[in-house]
Structure 1
Amino acid sequence: MSSQTDVQSQIIRAIGLTVTNGDRSLNFYTQALLFELVSDITVEGQDYSDLEGVPGVKIRIITLRLGDEFIELMEYLNIQGKPILNDSQSNDLWFQHLAIVVSDMDRAYDRLRSFPIEPISVAPQTIPPENEASGGVRAFKFKDPDGHDLELIWFPPDKGKDKWHQNGDRLFLGIDHSAIAISNTEQSLHFYRDLLGMQIDSRSFNWRATQSRLDNLPGAEVKITALRPVQDGVGIELLDYILPGKGRPMPSDCKSWDITHMQIELVVNNLEQLVDKLRGNGVQFVSPRIVQFSDHSFPYRQGCLVKDPDGHAILLIME
């Protein structure tokens, strides 16, 4: 076996969301969804500018935890990014959501409705039983104050990880996956599986009225490929919309400070080797170099931001 095949994605450390107002987003995620505050720091300097591809950057990074999983709310303090388009749809290729697992869908939905959310789904939807991979799963999609897409998801006893069924009395349990809209499944598998070393966890096909009501997208049919890193944890779901077809592409000028920007922080076992491999395969780089961090309070030692074939941001890191 050649050394190049040894590169592996170990685990997703966190998912970063660029936000307009850190305090507003902090209040929403902690009050509506019961995330817990871990840290609230401000970073600046050349290393962070190179990492995110933003000159003269100053970023407030608010780290939140839900169960075992983490998100980072990233507020660019010295530059205002473009907002998410109001007419954004699930099949637009910039679409990305976080799936937040709940122990009781009806209670979670009732709680959420007392906060200023923008619903996407008509109401919580139950996947039909003829869908072998996800029959019985209940889901509800909505938007946070910035328009980032979120999903509440409930797993029946025969679906989902064991940990989602050992919840005690908590209502919001953690993050199961981040789902991204893609233009071509095989193209994305080449990137995530063949280059990054992730593993296929499951495949499914969602359609009929349930999916349309879930996505608020008439006639929706979507091919879903679920991927996991080798150490499990948060997964990535590839959403390949067959109907109504592919939506709009990611804008070519989308930057890290734009509110559309989300970045999956992926821990890898050999960053230098992986970067060489990605460069050799024509992958788009945002960071001009592997950034080395000497600040021991920062959560990782090395980082490099790249984009997948459809423009979704992946922050490759070594802890």
Structure 2
Amino acid sequence: MTHAPSPGACTRIARLAVNVHDIGRAAAFYGQALGFKPLGAPRPATPERATLLGGPYETLMMALGDTRLELSRFLAPSTPYPADSRANDLWFQHFAITCHDIEALARRVVSLGGQPITRSGPQQLPPASGSVTAYKFRDPDGHPLELLVPAHTPPGDPAHPPDSRPAHTVAIDHTALSVGDGRRAGAFYEKALGLIPGAEQTNTGPKQEHLDDLPEVQVRVATLFTALPGPHLELLGYERPRGRRQALAATDIAATRIVFETTDLAALERRLTAHRHAPTRQVADAALGQDTDGHWLLIERVL
């Protein structure tokens, strides 16, 4: 991962949390297709966390390198991921996994139940779009994910021989959110959560159209950095075609949570509330809120 100067201990992305229909099925997919390792067994959430998120649920933590993914299954049925979702819709949130042999890994995830988003296989974007090679797909619950080869690591690079992980996955590089107004969203994450803005670029052209499976796409990509270790954040402002908006309950399958850690929960919760019309929910050690486009954020206090 490439990070800007750290914003300090106040905020870092500790993990991503996705809601699933079946923890066993999801864990098998992430393990077999992508090389994630379970950290223990599924366990019930505490009563306080169940109250915070809107109902009892069980949870399983998984690791890929030094990054973490949390699978959550609510005991009451969850609303499925919208079947006709597109990359520009404002509930769209993916996370990108770095790898070395993207062609082999793309074939693997599809053979194990992943549903392609990208047309015609992995796409190498032009220099103006970062020169990365990327491939987007959905997991069995409909969550969008991305495979990513950074520009400095050519696919199949012999300097990175394969190991026991599928096609040598490395870590979660970033999570990306579709937003309606990139400037407004960026201001929220800077002022409410203290993230540091990085580079911005506009991605367009045939490669981006194939990557997103969208016509005549033009998307403004803004990078924001958090404290290390952990992924960084990207905001995807689709200038064309424009995406749809839909409110999500925290228990819906599409309601992926970015889990931030902070040493001063009270101060961060006040800033979060000040930058939203709706108040956050809070328990002793955590607060739950939403950004300006409705993406869910869980902030945990650490000592």
Same fold (TM over 0.5): yes
Aligned letter for 1:38? L
Structure-to-structure mapping, 1:168-183, within 5 angstroms: 169=163, 170=165, 171-183=168-180
User: In the alignment, which residue of structure 2 is the partner of 1:318?
Assistant: 301
Which residue number in structure 1 is paired with residue 149 of structure 2? 154
Offset of residue 273 of structure 1: 1.1
Match of 1:250 in 2: 246
8 Å CA contact retained: 1:188, 1:308: yes
- TM-superposed CA distance for 1:9, in Å, is 4.1
Q: What whole-Å deviation, never above 9, does each CA across 1:185-226 have from its counterpart, x for those lacking one?
A: 111112101121001122111000111100000111100001
1:43 matched to 2:40? The reply is: no
Tell me what 2:138 maps to. 143
SS in 1 for 2:34: coil
Is the contact made by 1:285 and 1:307 (CA closer than 8 Å) also made in structure 2? Answer: no
Aligned with 1:97 (options 90, 94, 105): 94
Cα distance 1:230–1:45, how it changes in 2: closer, same or farther (>3 A)? Answer: closer
User: What is the CA distance between 1:283 and its match in structure 2?
Assistant: 4.8
Q: Equivalent residue for 1:268? A: 262
Q: Residues 33 and 109 of structure 2 are in contact (CA less than 8 Å); yes or no, is this contact kept in structure 1?
A: yes
- Relative distance call for 1:189 and 1:309 in structure 2 (3 A) is same
* Residues 13 and 266, structure 1, Cα contact 8 Å, conserved in 2: yes
Residue 17 (str. 1) matches residue 14 (str. 2): no
**Alignment length, in residue pairs?**
288
- Following TM superposition, by how much is the alpha carbon of 1:256 offset from its aligned partner in structure 2, in angstroms? 1.8
Which range is displaced more, 232-241 or 172-181?
Answer: 232-241
* 2:130 pairs with 1:134: yes
Partner of 1:237: 234
Contact 2:143 2:254 in 1 (8 A): yes
2:276–2:291 CA contact under 8 A, matched in 1: no
| Distance across 2 between alignment mates of 1:278 and 1:261 | 18
**TM score, norm. by length of structure 1:** 0.85
| Identical counterparts, % of pairs | 31
Question: How far is the alpha carbon of 1:86 from its aligned partner?
Answer: 1.2
SS where residue 40 of structure 1 aligns? Answer: coil
Secondary structure at the aligned position of 1:249 is classed as coil
For residues 202 and 96 of structure 1, what CA distance do their matches in structure 2 show? 20
Letter in 2 for 1:267: E
Question: What are the superposed Cα offsets for residues 201-255 of structure 1, whole Å, 9 maximum, x if unpaired?
Answer: 221110001111000001111000011113353011100001112x11132xx21
SS at match of 1:157: coil
Secondary structure of 1:306 counterpart: strand
Q: Does structure 2 conserve the Cα–Cα contact (< 8 Å) formed by 1:40 and 1:60? A: no
Q: Which residue of 2 aligns with 1:298?
A: none
> Aligned to 2:208, what secondary structure does the other structure show?
helix
Matched, 1:61 2:44: no
RMSD value, Cα: 2.1
Q: Which runs of 5+ in 1 are unaligned?
A: 1-5, 160-164, 293-301
Equivalent AA in structure 1 for residue 15 of structure 2 = A
SS at match of 2:31: helix
- Normalised to the residue count of structure 2, the TM-score between the two structures is 0.89
Matched, 1:29 2:30: yes
One of 67, 71, 78 as aligned partner of 1:73: 71
> How many angstroms apart in 1 are the aligned matches of 2:150 and 2:139?
22
Question: Is 1:309 the equivalent of 2:292?
Answer: yes
Alpha-carbon distance, 1:167 to partner: 8.1
After TM superposition, give the deviation of residue 280 of structure 1 in Å.
3.0
Quote the Cα distance in structure 2 between the aligned partners of 1:39 and 1:85.
31
Helix, strand or coil: the match of 2:267? helix
Give the unaligned 5+ runs of structure 2.
1-6
2:3 is matched with: none
SS for the counterpart of 2:84 is coil
**Matched residues in 2 for 1:239 and 1:248: separation?**
14
Report the CA distance between 1:8 and its aligned residue: 6.2
Counterpart AA for 1:95: F
Return the offset for 1:117: 1.4
Q: Structure 2: which amino acid aligns with 1:303? A: A
Equivalent position SS for 1:265: strand
Partner of 2:111 in structure 1?
Answer: 114
Matched, 1:204 2:201: yes
CA-CA distance at 1:63 after TM superposition: 0.5
Instruction: Tell me the secondary structure at the aligned position of residue 206 of structure 2.
Output: helix
| One-letter amino acid matched to 2:198 | D
Q: Aligned equivalents of 1:280 and 1:168: distance in 2?
A: 48
Please give the alpha-carbon distance, in whole angstroms, between the structure 1 residues aligned to 2:228 and 2:277: 24
